[in-house]
Structure 1
Amino acid sequence: MFFKNYEYFLAIVEEGGLSKAAKKLFISQPSLSKYLKRLEMNLGVELFDHNSSPLKLTYTGERYYNYLMQIIQLDKQLQKEFSEIQNNDRGKIRLGLALWRGSCLLPDILPSFTKKYPNIEVDIIEGKSNFLVSELLTEKLDFAIMNLPTNMDFSKLTYDTLMEEQILFVGNKNHPLVEQARSSQVNSRGYPFIDIAHLEDELFIITKPGQNLTSAILHHFSKRHLDPKNIFEIENLTTAINLVSSGMGFTFVPEGGVKEKQLPENLALFSLEDPNLIWPLAVVYKKHTYITNHSNLFIGMLKDYYQKNKQNHL
């Protein structure tokens, strides 16, 4: 069922017609038309609705397309496995990270990993969650470390949870309400509670739209019926933290993206006691993709790292 020149069929599907597909393949349209007739005759079915423009797959055409994609994926996996067997001491990991998380995570993980596995190259790609998802689906990334977007397509992606991460509120200890809130009872994770309704007129420094963190914060504002008038948007959380340290406003940070001991001494972390502000931090993969031994070594080190962090908070 896996006929020669299957890429011709895929080009017709992708381009929606013989003319565009022929140009893409650098062959003549009559030649491509003969190929399609011969393919349908050999299979004994019609793959396309030839009365539609652009061409649309019939149900049998969809089944054949899915079959081809599975075969192609299996072939890629087999090639990766062969390459891994032949070059067991060398490899490359293509890792996706949120724009700010690398600055917190990589200094703790990457030096140890490269020392232990000097012949494994780690290629880091940073970006917003929608960009990372796109790179995963096009197989430009082996895996990504990210919070799970609410709109993630789980028919195409899968994940392993590293930790249930709380979004924390960050304030300057010199602010009167921060100083007062620091004496409140701490939750099970060790953070005191603060009610940001009392800070509605203050400056909130948040990440720009398109980031999962931004969506979670705005949802919290809406749920609490808060309408902050002073919002300053930035791209990188490190910048936000430094601004708060200088006495400018308040910000929000994911728990796994900060270390209290590494924060400026004049900052304090608080819980907002909202279950919607606890989300999974996960290693995300494309479904049915072969994960190399090299990637599994890195992922194993990640899991150990977050397990230790969890124990430190208990």
Structure 2
Amino acid sequence: MSSLTEFQLLTVLAQEMNMRKAAERLFVSQPALSQRLQNIEKDWGTKLFIRSQKGLALTPAGEHVINFVNETLHREDEVREALHALQNEVHGTLKIAVASIVGQNWLPQVLKMFIQRYPQAKISLITGWSSEILKAMYEDQVHIGIIRGTPDWKGVKIHLFKDGLYLVDTEITKPEQVLETDRPFIQFKSDSNYYQEIQDWWHRKFQTTPKRTVVVDQIETCKQMTFNGIGYAILPSITLNGAEKDIFKVPLLDENGEHLSRDTWLLGYESAFELKQVKAFVELIQEFIIKTGK
């Protein structure tokens, strides 16, 4: 049976599929790595990789072994986290999945505090659409998720903050002016109910559709196009840090005159909150929100 060190070696080889690159990552020479691989293959009694001038390829037997290796290393991480949870210091890996807009505009300040306060802890971060965050949660890839909107979640659900929606432009100072301009309404793709909220507000306000629209795939692209005067957009305040110049921000109001806003939630299974690194992160977030108001 191979040791965990040899498992890690196999994992690197399977990731790189190149002896030179794998040797560089493992800080060993190529001949030494080749010899170690031969010994491992002898131990398993079969070839795991096929060597060629183009690199490495897994044999069918190698695929089975690599799957076993990955499962074993994942289980090792879980055991180590459980052991660290018994200690006083915060160790282990904090695995979080975060909606991209939160990961770009809000999370970095929180992670900076976390890293400074708990230098022994590690962080594994996934960003994406809220549907992707929920998928990672359901598949147990992460400890906690931070998503936008109102989630349908049966585990632990903690409300973090809400941020208002604004019509943002270099020229428009009140909503009615969108009916007069020929410049486009710039929208960004979203898989949440954000898009529907904007559509509902627009039709309630104007009973018509925008004259021209431009759809982009990232909110940051939408923001930069708006700031450069290409068109106007509706953006949440989390993306507006107050440093923008010559930009008008008109709050979106609902039928009751209340400011439309987006909610941000932290989700997780109860078992995850028993881990010290997760507890520490959630407590730090709550402290950060009290301190900054968001």
Query: Normalization by structure 2: what TM-score?
Result: 0.63
1:54-96 CA-partner distances (Å, limit 9, x unpaired): xxxxxxxxxxxxxxxxxxxxxxx99965441158442111111
- Distance in 2 of aligned mates of 1:92 and 1:219: 41
For the structure 1 residues 217 and 276, does the alpha-carbon distance in structure 2 shift closer, same or farther, using more than 3 Å as the test? farther
Contact 2:252–2:259 (8 Å) recurs in 1: no
1:170 and 2:150 matched: no
Q: Is the 8 A contact 2:186 2:222 kept in 1?
A: yes
Residue in structure 2 matching 1:285, options 240, 243, 268? 268
Moved more, 97-106 or 78-87: 78-87
Whether 2:99 is the aligned partner of 1:98: answer yes
Q: Is the 8 A contact 2:251 2:259 kept in 1?
A: no
CA drift of 1:250 comes to 1.1
Deviations 1:208-235 (A, max 9, x none): 1413432321232233323113221222
Q: Secondary structure of the residue that 1:118 maps to in structure 2?
A: coil
Output the TM-score relative to the length of structure 1. Answer: 0.59
Identity of aligned residues (%): 17
Offset, 1:239: 1.5
Give the match for residue 153 of structure 1.
Answer: 152
Q: CA deviation at 1:200?
A: 7.0
Contact 2:81–2:93 under 8 Å retained in 1:
no
Structure 1 residues 1-314: aligned runs within 5 Å: 81-86=82-87, 88-149=89-150, 152-154=151-153, 156-172=154-170, 175=171, 177-178=172-173, 181=174, 194-195=175-176, 198=179, 201-224=182-205, 225-261=207-243, 263=244, 265-274=245-254, 275=258, 277-286=260-269, 288-291=270-273, 292-310=275-293
Shift of 1:125: 0.4
Measured at CA, do residues 231 and 304 of structure 1 come closer, stay the same or move farther in structure 2, by a change above 3 Å?
A: farther
Compute the displacement of 1:157 (Å).
3.7
Unaligned runs of 5+ in 2: 1-77
AA aligned to 1:249 is G
8 A Cα contact 2:145 2:268, kept in partner: yes
Question: Cα RMSD over matched residues?
Answer: 2.8
* Alignment correspondent of 2:34: none
| Letter aligned with residue 97 of structure 1 | V
Q: Tell me the amino acid that sits aligned with residue 170 of structure 1.
A: V
Q: Which runs of 5+ in 1 are unaligned?
A: 1-76, 182-193
Partner deviation per Cα, 1:227-248 (whole Å, 9 max, x = no partner) = 1132212222221111111111
Offset from partner CA, 1:185-213 (integer Å, 9 cap, x none):
xxxxxxxxx44654575411112141343
Divergent runs of 4+, >3 A: 77-83, 86-89, 194-202
1:91-149 per-position Cα deviation (integer Å, ceiling 9, x unaligned) = 11111112232221233222222122111111110111111111111211211222234
User: Residues 122 and 139 from structure 1, CA distance in 2 versus in 1: closer, same or farther, beyond 3 angstroms?
Assistant: same
